[in-house]
Amino acid sequence: MKPPVIEVRGLSYRYDDGTQALAGVDFRLDAGECVALLGANGSGKTTFALHLNGLLHGEGSVEVCGLRVTRHNAPEVRKKVGLVFQDSDSQLFMPTVLDDVAFGPLNHGVHAHEAAHCALHALERVGMEGAAHKAPYHLSAGEKKRVAIAGVLAMNPDVLVLDEPTTFLDPPAQRTLSGLLAELPQAKILITHDMPFALAMCSRAVFFEKGRIASEGSVEAMVKRFGWEFVAGRTKLER
């Protein structure tokens, strides 16, 4: 059996206000796998994701591609795990799209010419090369999402973590995003309440509840077990 790209053991985290956000999480992600993180708001999903590239540090262990995640090696870990936030505007802040996508490589010491090359290649992969010299605020929500993903791809990560990736996207933009993600070879973690999207994209799901993984299995099994129903393309928790 090949080693996992992510392995988490006994991860716990408490916020400064005393809130116990994670309480002993074990998790494994294999190369090429796409896994959905499901659960109610406040169940620990995003807090968990922020540990995967060293933005938070709790008790327990997190390993990425065999590298233990610590404060010391967080910059190296962030090259391996690309995090795409729910609101693309929180990731797009430079004058042009090209500047935004090149920011990551430049921040890690890549020469400006090479960083621009990496950025253009990443934009080509998401079909946004024509927007390279546009201002990000001129883009649609779907276009911003693709540019945010390009900014992560420019770092050539092993894992993509996307937090509520279909938020603010209309159905055509959601279909474009699904097709894009399906073509990318990286292992993926999708934090989502969009069950049709999870069903289309993910081979496995884990269900968070009160800072723990309550269960895992197929997306269909998790929907059935925890009483999530499809309502106009969304879900509701009936518990």
The pLDDT value given to residue 47:
95
Q: Is 143 exposed, middle or buried (0-12, 13-18, 19+ CB in 10 A)?
A: buried
Let me know: does 98 contact 175? Beta carbons within 8 Å. Answer: no
Let me know: does 71 contact 78? Beta carbons within 8 Å. Answer: no
Band (229; pLDDT cuts 50, 70, 90): low
Let me know: does 85 contact 98? Beta carbons within 8 Å. Answer: no
> In 3-state terms, what secondary structure has residue 92?
coil
Let me know: does 92 contact 102? Beta carbons within 8 Å. Answer: no
> In 3-state terms, what secondary structure has residue 163?
strand
Does pLDDT of 232 surpass 50? no
User: Each residue of 37-54: pLDDT tens digit?
Assistant: 999 989 999 999 999 989
The pLDDT value given to residue 87:
84
End-to-end CA distance of the chain: 38
User: Each residue of 3-17: pLDDT tens digit?
Assistant: 899 999 999 999 999
Write down the domain spans for the chain: 6-237
What span, in angstroms and rounded, lies between the C-alpha atoms of 28 and 150?
25
| pTM exceeds cut of 0.85 | yes
User: Each residue of 164-211: pLDDT tens digit?
Assistant: 988 888 888 888 889 999 999 999 999 998 888 998 999 899 999 999
User: Each residue of 119-166: pLDDT tens digit?
Assistant: 999 999 898 999 999 999 899 998 999 999 999 999 999 999 999 988
Does pLDDT of 234 surpass 60? no
Q: How many Cβ atoms sit within 10 Å of the Cβ of residue 124?
A: 14
The pLDDT value given to residue 52:
95
Most confident of 83-87, 105-109, 188-192, 195-199: 188-192
* The domain over range 6-237 is classified in CATH as 3.90.580.10: no
For the segment 12-36, the average pLDDT, to the nearest whole number, is: 95
- Rama region for 154: left / alpha / beta (φ>0; ψ in -120 to 50; rest): alpha
